[in-house]
Amino acid sequence: MNLKPLKKFALERLPKESSLREVILAESDEITTQDFLAKVDVWLKLAESESRR
């Protein structure tokens, strides 16, 4: 899966102090679908946690 659009979104739209932003930007530009499915749950939990702050 191509993460470039997600990484662009993270860079442009998420706050610089966001842990989610840092985690997404640290990923490779391409990951397998299986890896994406494993990671998306963590990303969603981070997003939910950050939205409560």
Provide DSSP, 24-51: HHHS-SB--HHHHHHHHHHHHHHHHHHH
pLDDT of residue 19: 96
Give this prediction's pTM: 0.90
Question: How many Å separate Cα 24 from the centre of its chain?
Answer: 3
CB-based burial of residue 20 (10 Å sphere; 0-12 exposed, 13-18 middle, 19+ buried)? buried
CA distance 47 to 43: 6
- The per-residue pLDDT for range 16-45, each reduced to its tens digit, is 999 999 999 999 999 999 999 999 999 999
Q: What is the mean pLDDT of residues 43-51?
A: 96
C-alpha span between 14 and 25 (Å, rounded): 11
